[in-house]
Amino acid sequence: MQATFQKIIARFPERSLVLRTGSDTRYIVLKTWHQVAATCAVAVFFLWTAVASIGFSWNHNERLVVEAELATTVAANKLFIAQLENDQKNAYELRQSFNEEVRKNEGWVSRFETIRDLTDDVLNKTSPAVVSAFIPWFQDQLAIRISLVEQTNADLTDLVMDMSESVAEISGHRPPQFVEDVGPWLTNVAGDITEAYETQSEAMEVLHDTMTVTLSKGFATIDGTPLADPEFAGFTPSFGAGGPGHEVAKFGHVFERFQDRSDRLMALGQDWQALRSMLECAPLSPPVDYYNLTSPYGKRKDPFTKKPAWHEGVDLGAWPGTRVRATASGTVTFAGRKGGYGRFVIVDHGCGIETAYGHLKKIYVKKGATVDYRETLGQVGSTGRSTGPHVHYEVRIQGKPVDPYQFIKAGRYVFKEQKLADAK
């Protein structure tokens, strides 16, 4: 082996390579190991080329098969990737559809809860919490409600027809046969009633004016007397008053005008009742038919002491024995002697009004007797503290004396035919 190696080494003795460039000469020494290394490198290169060529030729068919398989695999992978992308797209769309369905279901659930709550509030009942149970339950409740509404409509129809019959009785019209005819029928009736109301309103206006004049004349009778004081009379006359109410009577709706006139007539009626009661109680005539006013009401000189004194009535001089009459109907509350009044009679006329008659010669009535207007109570005399024949006449309101001559003057307005002699 060593000999062989030596033989190989001997083939590569040390050599010199001469390189001449112009006049320059260079020597490159190629040592044995350089040559061996270069020879080995060349040998290895050719060997590798030969091996590679052989291997390439030998694996060419297999490489073609592998390339075909690789191409098939790549194509299959591309199809798989395309399918995967398509599946992902479908999955996304399904997810979106699922989310949409979830939102719809949430909306339906919310609506169901709202409907359920409203149903509970309307029916005052607790409804089923499950849709499958709620629907039949709701259908039953709806059927019941529909039945109730139908019954209510039937009742309303009956009520409308009954009311139509009542209106027909009031208006004199023939009632409608069917509920559908009620509307037009009421329109016609309303027109007739409005016309009737208008006619009645005009008549009421005439009656109002007439009553106003009558009441004014009646109130003028007691005007100027304490009876006209609202605090005593208990009312303030409303007749002859104007104001916004009369504007309604001219320009308002016919029923408003009718109501206004009705209210005013009602007020006048109340005034008339109060005034008539007052006139029945009022002593508006003198107690004797013919007299002389010998002593007025109020301050005077006492006929006995000649000193100033207060006179609570009037003295009406008349012939002895002249009839003394009740100045209004009433009840005798005193009849007999009473100190300086002599023979004395007191009559209660109601309404808080009393009259008193003193110095009578005779008394014809007793306590508790009921006397009529102008009924004889006694005779003119001079009993008691008196200087001559006369009747001492007093008018008391709520127990307090007032001037009787105010009532005598007011009576002249009523009894014009009576002739009065007033000696002052």
Quickly list DSSP for 62-92. Answer: HHHHHHHHHHHHHHHHHHHHHHHHHHHHHHH
**pLDDT per position as a tens digit, 40-72:** 888 888 888 887 777 767 666 777 777 888 888
DSSP 208-269: HHHHHHHHHHHHHHHTTSGGG-HHHHS----TT--SHHHHHHHHS-HHHHHHHHHHHHHHHH
Closest by CA position to 325, among listed 406, 401, 379:
379
Distance CA(381)–CA(342), nearest Å, equals: 9
Residue-level pLDDT at 241: 46
Question: Contact at 8 Å (CB) between 334 and 347?
Answer: no
Contact 201, 261 (CB under 8 A): yes
d(CA 356, CA 396): 8
Residue 357 phi, psi dihedral angles, 5° rounding: -130, 120
* pTM score, whole prediction: 0.49
pLDDT score, position 407: 87
Q: Which letter, b or e, does each residue of 353-364 get, where b requires 16 or more Cβ atoms within 10 Å of its Cβ? A: bbbbbbbbbebb
Give bridge partners of residue 18 from the DSSP assignment.
27
Residues of the chain with pLDDT under 50: 240-249, 416-424
pLDDT of residue 245: 41
**CA dist., res. 117 & res. 109, Å (int):** 12
Would you state the pLDDT for residue 297? 93
- Cα 226 to Cα 240: distance, rounded to the nearest angstrom: 21
Pairing of strands 292-295, 298-301: unpaired
Q: Which two tokens stand for residue 392?
A: 């001492």
Q: Using an 8 Å Cβ cutoff, are 353 and 328 in contact?
A: yes
Looking at residue 271, its pLDDT comes to 76
Query: What whole-number distance in Å separates Cα of residue 265 and Cα of residue 247?
Result: 16
